[in-house]
Structure 1
Amino acid sequence: MNTFLSALKARRTCYRIGSGSPIDDSQISGLVKEAVSVTPSAFNMQSTRAVLLFGAEHEKLWKIVLESLRAIVPPDAFAATEGKIRSFAAGHGTVLYFDDTAVTDDFADRFSTYRDNFPVWAQQANGMAQLNV
């Protein structure tokens, strides 16, 4: 327990993201998959999903994000946005998290008394999975 709390206390946002990784992509994938799978969820619905992007797919995502933002961010404010997006693109890979709404909807149908709670519970489980990863 002390190791977990120590890790939480030491956690910080990294602003100097680099493309190197001390472990290979398959190990990263395995760690993410396991962390997501052991994260608790209401009714054990396990609706959290994670997609990992490395290499060309990682680069493609951030190009799409950059061009999408270029279309909506005012030109005079775009330089800061571009810098932030390019810093993310400089990373080794990207993890995208989402909720499988088919799972959430299925549980809402099966347990209709709690229907309105399932989307909230799914978001909470997603947040826990992100912290666990």
Structure 2
Amino acid sequence: MTNFFEAIEIRRSSYAISKEKVVSTERIQEIVEHAVKYVPSAFNSQTARVLILLDDEHDKFWNNTTKILKGVVGDGDFKGTQEKMDGFKAGYGTVLFFEDQEIIHGLQEAFALYADNFPIWSEQSSGMHQFVVWTAFANEGLGASLQHYNPLVDEMVANEWDVPKTWKLRAQMPFGKPLQSAGDKEFKPLDERVKVFK
């Protein structure tokens, strides 16, 4: 197992993934549940909600997403999009990240002074959940990427998996065994991005 900073470094977008099992489904669930339990949220509101789609349910999500996108594109060139969809479906799972709007609205009513901030804080918490799961997956040898086909797929997801109306879909994370390395990454100079005052 790597240390915290090493785990952050190995977390990269993996688009070439396969259905070959790297870790058990129990371990995947354990990682997601740990993130949902311990990642912070404003006012300890715990607004994160997650679906883990595995095997046939994962395939169903990407098949249905492909149909929806074809309907949007119409007679246009769908080849590039189809390749992306096939690549995501080639993995063996997808994590769907949601934020429960009912809790957010309740906080807005209870703390009117901060009402405009609660949706922003919710997005920040969701981003942290996504980052923690993604990094933990990478630490286990899983490849993943973060996708955003919401709101196009929202209704389909709600209908297929009986998702409460108050859950707002924020991101999708297909994952599987990585088939190639992510390659080199360029970094802008840190002295342009971090300022220290003493």
Partner of 2:43: 43
**How many Å apart are 1:110 and its aligned residue?**
1.3
Unaligned runs of 5+ in 1: none
Aligned position for 1:28: 28
Aligned partner of 1:8: which letter? I
Deviations 1:73-128 (A, max 9, x none): 25443000000011001111100001010111111111111111101100000000
Deviations 1:57-82 (A, max 9, x none): 11111111000000112544300000
Residues of 1 paired with 2:59 and 2:76: CA distance?
25
Could you tell which deviates more after superposition, 120-129 or 35-44?
Answer: 35-44
- Residue 67 of structure 1 aligns with which residue? 67
1:18 aligns with: 18
Match of 1:80 in 2: 80
For residues 26 and 10 of structure 2, the distance between their equivalents in structure 1, rounded to whole angstroms, comes to 25
- Contact conserved, 1:36 with 1:132, CA < 8 A, in 2? no
SS at match of 1:72: helix
Instruction: Tell me the residue number matched to 2:114.
Output: 114
Q: How does 1:47-58 map to 2 (within 5 A)?
A: 47-58=47-58
RMSD: 1.4
Q: Secondary structure at the match of 2:3?
A: helix
Query: SS of the residue aligned with 2:50?
Result: strand
Distance, in Å, in 2 between the alignment partners of 1:86 and 1:23 is: 22
Q: Point out the structure with the larger strand share.
A: 2
Match for residue 96 of structure 1? Answer: 96
Matching residue's letter, 1:98: F
Shift of 1:10: 2.0
The total of aligned residue pairs comes to 132
| Distance in 1 separating the partners of 2:55 and 2:6 | 32
Answer 1 or 2: which has greater helix percent.
1
Q: Is the 8 A contact 1:50 1:95 kept in 2?
A: yes
